[in-house]
Structure 1
Amino acid sequence: MRRGRLTPGAVRKWGFIASFLAAPLAIYIIFFVSPNLQALQLALTNSRGISPDFQYVGFENFTRLFGDEVFWAAVRHHGLILLVMPLVTIVIALFFSFLLNLGGGQRNGQLTGVWGSSFYKVVFFFPQVLAVVIVGVLFQAVLNPQKSGILNSVLGWFGVDPVGWLIKPDLALWTIIGVMVWQGVGFYVVLFSAGMAGVPKEIFEAAALDGANRFTLFFKITLPLVWNTVQVGWVYLGIAAFDAFALVQVLSIDRGGPDNATTVLPLEIFRQTFTYYRFGYASAMGVALVFLVLTFAALTLRVTRRERIEY
């Protein structure tokens, strides 16, 4: 047999592999690569979406972005959400996951979670069952600025005046971030619990026998062993921070208000497209958003990369 010539067995092997990869690759190209390429093409035009007639304007739409105050306000809001929401969500989720899996102490020589941990996992995961719009509608009642609002009613019992959670520009975005954390914690509690459940209990039990307290057990053993899961969760939450469309659309005053205090890029893209019919300009915003998301994911995976721990 001459070197470099495929044998019939090798042909069958690679043909079998290609047959499995062909469908996912085709779906990826059709539903991700192709729309993004079309958006890039549309971003180079002055299309208004209501007429097939348009002109190519080069990078005019991208140049216009640099002078758009609303665009930069949305970018700043994404930056704030990106700094706060993933960190708070992961810290809370890790805390509860640790309690549900290892916080109950030793029973019959084995580390267990707190009493009723299985029930608590269901309770924490419940917000994930609800659609984002339903969550937004529920929190409209919770955050109503009047005394009749659920949260303000509770605060009224302690003599606190009603708070305009969503009508104060300096408070509205923080309130929406709080709702995003509430909605996301349950999923990551389950995700991190699955990661901890995949670690042999003998490792934790050996550490406990050596005198490790809960602080040491969490930071020195548990967190390093589930770091890959935390890394994935951080990327997912970062991508969610670049979205936030539905919650801002439902909860904010005047779609991104008051005074653009809560606007985000997906909402601004929606407004430019279906309110002002600036399809080309909206596509330029979409391309910028994709670039920001991909940059964040790449940097996060790079910065948080650690050597894999085998056990």
Structure 2
Amino acid sequence: MNHGRLRFLIGALAPALVLHVVFVLSPYGQAFYLSLTDWTGVAGEAHFVGAGNYARLGGDSLFLDAVRNNAVMLVCVPLATIALGLFLASMLHIGGRSGRSGIRGAGAYQIVYFFPQLLSLVVVAVLWQFVYNPTNGLLNGALRAVGLGGQARSWLGDPALALPAVMAVLVWSSVGFYMVLFSAAIDGIPKELFEAALLDGAGGWATFRKVTLPLVRDTVQVAFVYLGIAALDGFAVVQVMTVGPGGPDGATEVIGLSLYRNAFTYGRFGYASAMGVALFFATLTLAVLALRSGRKERLELS
């Protein structure tokens, strides 16, 4: 009986394992190998260079600019998105003196906030490129309409403003999804806890800090991991929106864009693979640290 069950499990899992090895693990292995070569994309012309590509990364000023920009995005995008998502979800659920009663039309608000998720990131980038247009864009037009024409800027042409403008688009496109995610987490909190906080005289901020936030911590942790991965990417938005792309003066350069340019413009596939491997380990480190910190907090609370 046990042998038959074992054969059934092996037969059921083997195809999935084979597909995983062929289409997931094998490309990773090829990327790791190519990162140790000077392959130019032409078959048969790869020479083993060892860690030379990785040593070269440390002296590549444009790549270091990309690392700096990705680091800024890694801090700002998840924090801003999670803060806005939690705020909106709380406002939709915590209704003043009636505990967790929500507000009228909360479902409609969720649909409106979620709408950017229905658009691909490329479409979002194209739309915001028109919004940021310095001549006839919506943002500068709105500033002129309210008498603030002196604040009109070339939002994507100014090195000091280009990266914040890109990050604002990433936050705008993501916050609706995480608002819905946090709303679902808040729905899972027993209503009695909110009622008890209300009876104890807790206000809205105290209720959020003492009841809501601790009980949605796991969801916030998962959101941070996904947003961190998105912040370490940023390729599509930068590629579509910015001048250069990656400009001006490397102000919006990201690792994914440097990888793409080196591979498909300069034919340095080995060097680009080294960038990809570095990005892989940075993303893996982020996920491991975030998950381990959440596990440590749970152990301390228990």
TM-score range, shorter-chain basis? over 0.9
Distance 1:56 1:87, change over 3 A: same
Aligned twin of 1:150: 138
Higher RCO structure (Cα 8 Å, ≥6 apart):
2
Aligned twin of 1:30: 22
Out of 213, 219, 228, the position equivalent to 1:223 is: 213
CA contact (8 A) 1:104 1:115 kept: no
CA contact (8 A) 1:102 1:111 kept: yes
**CA separation in 1, counterparts of 2:259 and 2:292?**
29
Distance 1:31 1:201, change over 3 A: farther
CA contact (8 A) 2:69 2:253 kept: yes
CA contact (8 A) 1:167 1:253 kept: yes
Is residue 61 from structure 1 mapped to residue 53 from structure 2 by the alignment? yes
Over the matched positions of the two proteins, sequence identity in percent amounts to 47
User: 1:149 corresponds to which letter in structure 2?
Assistant: G
Is residue 206 from structure 1 mapped to residue 196 from structure 2 by the alignment? yes
User: 2:282 corresponds to which letter in structure 1?
Assistant: L
Aligned twin of 1:115: 104
Structure 2 unmatched runs, 5+: none
CA contact (8 A) 1:105 1:113 kept: no
**CA separation in 1, counterparts of 2:121 and 2:127?**
10
Is residue 250 from structure 1 mapped to residue 243 from structure 2 by the alignment? no
For residue 23 of structure 1, report the CA deviation from its aligned partner.
4.6
**CA separation in 2, counterparts of 1:20 and 1:225?**
38
Aligned twin of 2:291: 301
Q: How many pairs align?
A: 298
Aligned twin of 1:167: 157
Aligned twin of 2:117: 128
Give the CA RMSD over aligned residues.
1.9
Aligned twin of 1:5: none
Distance 1:21 1:195, change over 3 A: farther
CA contact (8 A) 2:82 2:178 kept: yes
Is residue 92 from structure 1 mapped to residue 84 from structure 2 by the alignment? yes
**CA separation in 1, counterparts of 2:187 and 2:276?**
39
TM-score normalised by structure 1 residue count: 0.90
Moved more, 290-299 or 23-32: 23-32
Out of 252, 267, 273, the position equivalent to 2:263 is: 273
For residue 18 of structure 1, report the CA deviation from its aligned partner.
4.8
TM-score normalised by structure 2 residue count: 0.93
Distance 1:23 1:115, change over 3 A: farther
CA contact (8 A) 1:104 1:114 kept: no
CA contact (8 A) 2:96 2:204 kept: no
For residue 99 of structure 1, report the CA deviation from its aligned partner.
1.2
**CA separation in 2, counterparts of 1:308 and 1:234?**
20
The structure with more helix, counted as a fraction of residues: 2
**CA separation in 2, counterparts of 1:62 and 1:113?**
53
**CA separation in 1, counterparts of 2:14 and 2:187?**
35
Distance 1:278 1:94, change over 3 A: same
